[in-house]
Amino acid sequence: MGFVETFLNWDVFLRSLPLLLTGLKVTALLGGVSIVAGLILGLATALLRLYGLAPLRLLARVCIDVLRSVPILVLLIVVYYALPFVGLRLSPFMSAAVTLSLVSAAYTAEIFRAGIEAVPRGQFEASQALGLSFRHTLQDVVLPQAIRVVTPALTNNSINVIKDTALASVVAMPDLLKQATQAQALEANPTPLIVAALIYVAFLWPLLLLVGRLEQRMATAR
Amino acid sequence: MTFRHLLLALLTACALVAAARADELVVGANIGNVPWEFADRGGEFVGFEIDLVREAAKRLGHSVEIVNIPFNGLFSAVQSGRIDIALSSMTITDKRLASVAFAQPYYDSAQSLTVIAASRAEGLEDMRDAVIGVDTGSTGDMWTTANRDRYGFADIRRFEGLAPAMLDLQTRRIDGYISDIPALAYYVKDKPQFRVIERIETGERYSMMFARGSRWLEPIDAAISELKEEGFIAALHERWFGNAPAANSSTVRVLDRPQALP
């Protein structure tokens, strides 16, 4: 059998495409939920880490460091297979979403912290001189500037979250990779895997271009 | 050592590796698929198909190197030439024959439904609104997908093999597991927390999988014929399943190699 017939088989492609598209839907949903939850949780953790009470600051820091040092796959398997033994049984989707959100939140928290620390000291002092409350200082002065600085980094992190959704296929989640391996076994042909790779690229390339554009805009704005 | 020496040493090493490979059959096996191919307590690969492929290769004067590849990876591993033979109690299907080749079958099989011992279910009819686990892309997956509406299964979860599925059965994430009957019968033998409650006839037969046009296909197939005539495969059946195979089963009778549909 030739290369094209084996790896780029048109008939297999047509037959497996519907299956792959249902997988893409699951991947997109899981990625979306994890990114949004990770952003919210990450911002909260960053603020806690910077401005919380001393014990909370320490706790936030430990959480961030632990989550950044555990391989995602290990964390996912712990959440999925170990938690049921202490009475917490999450569905495959919930397990994957919780894992990805936690890890994304840890990275997002560090990105936000870097952004907030990059805002010049004078901005804080000026806000104080104007009599702004702490909440308004953050909300109206610091965060808008910080978020602008870290948007490319956040977008990069989001791309990584979407790529990491492929790990969810180990906990019986019908995501894009899982559907591709299923179609591959049904057809005894690796074409669906190649198609899945192309779908990932088609899905993520626009996001990569967006990062480039954002970085460029920031460079000219400076 | 100069760069040229290094390059020369590297080339020699490559040539040596290639020479070592020439008379060695690389066999990919879905380790953990009891009792066909699995690791014993010492980490040694053992099982019905491991014994069979070792003996068949010995008859041809070749040694065997076993590599552990999960079920789903076996197809591309065979097609890309990474391995010469794939073992995973693999069912011969027309769809698979369109892309790969099989030796003659050596085991007649069926599917099975497994539940936890505490379950009240007594058969497929009791699995309405149940969540069923299967192995991704296996014949059990195909049967369950085709019969989903007939039995009213709520959902089908797809696993990468027996072990993770049984974990989810134990934690009740799934209500039943549909997979090859010999593997499950063997697996639950010493595990009273599970029971196999139904045999599902599918008329499937197992064999070794090769790339199409593989130079190993014919010699290995001939060796299997020889081993059937000598009663070697029937003895393997006794050893791994504890009983003799039926007289007219594919474990005993010499059969033709399955051919792809025109």
pLDDT score, position A214? 84
Give dist(CA B21, CA B68) in Å, integer: 17
Q: Do B76 and A172 touch (CB under 8 A)?
A: no
Torsion sign (Cα): B240, B243, B249, B253: positive
Q: Is the pLDDT of residue A41 over 50?
A: yes
Give dist(CA B50, CA B89) in Å, integer: 11
Q: By three-state DSSP, how is residue A7 classified?
A: helix
Q: By three-state DSSP, how is residue B99 classified?
A: coil
- In this structure, what DSSP letter does residue A190 have? S
By CA distance, what is B96's nearest residue in A?
A188
pLDDT score, position B10? 60
pLDDT score, position B22? 58
* Token pair belonging to A95: 């397990």
Give the residue from A127, B243, B231 showing the smallest Cα distance to B251.
B231
Contact residues on chain A for B212, CB-CB shorter than 8 A: 1
- In this structure, what DSSP letter does residue A170 have? G
Tens of pLDDT, residue by residue over A166-202, are: 999 888 888 999 899 888 888 888 899 999 999 999 9
Of B99, B159, B213, the CB nearest to A187: B99
Contact residues on chain B for A185, CB-CB shorter than 8 A: 71-72, 75, 136-138, 141
Q: How many residues does chain A have?
A: 222
Q: Give the distance from residue B173's alpha carbon to the nearest chain A alpha carbon, in angstroms.
A: 8
Give the residue from A15, A6, A19, A35 showing the smallest Cα distance to A160.
A35
Give dist(CA B183, CA A174) in Å, integer: 25
- In this structure, what DSSP letter does residue B34 have? T
Give dist(CA A121, CA A129) in Å, integer: 13
Of B79, B137, B211, the CB nearest to A185: B137
By CA distance, what is B212's nearest residue in A?
A1
> Digits of tens for pLDDT over chain B (262 positions)?
565 665 666 655 555 454 445 578 999 999 989 999 999 888 899 999 999 999 999 999 999 999 999 898 899 899 888 999 999 999 999 989 999 999 999 999 999 999 999 999 999 999 999 999 999 989 999 999 999 999 999 999 999 889 889 999 998 999 999 999 999 999 998 899 999 999 999 999 999 999 999 999 999 999 999 999 999 999 999 999 988 999 999 999 999 999 988 7
Give dist(CA B54, CA B66) in Å, integer: 10
Q: Do A184 and B72 touch (CB under 8 A)?
A: yes
Contact residues on chain A for B133, CB-CB shorter than 8 A: 172
Q: Is the pLDDT of residue A32 over 60?
A: yes
Contact residues on chain B for A19, CB-CB shorter than 8 A: none
Give dist(CA B17, CA B25) in Å, integer: 13
- Cβ count within 10 A of residue A154: 22
Cβ(A188)–Cβ(A176) below 8 Å: no
Give dist(CA B99, CA B137) in Å, integer: 15
Give dist(CA B161, CA B29) in Å, integer: 12
Q: Do A189 and B133 touch (CB under 8 A)?
A: no
For the entire predicted model, the pTM comes to 0.79
By CA distance, what is B71's nearest residue in A?
A185
Burial (CB < 10 A; 0-12, 13-18, 19+), residue B59, is middle
Cβ(A54)–Cβ(A103) below 8 Å: no
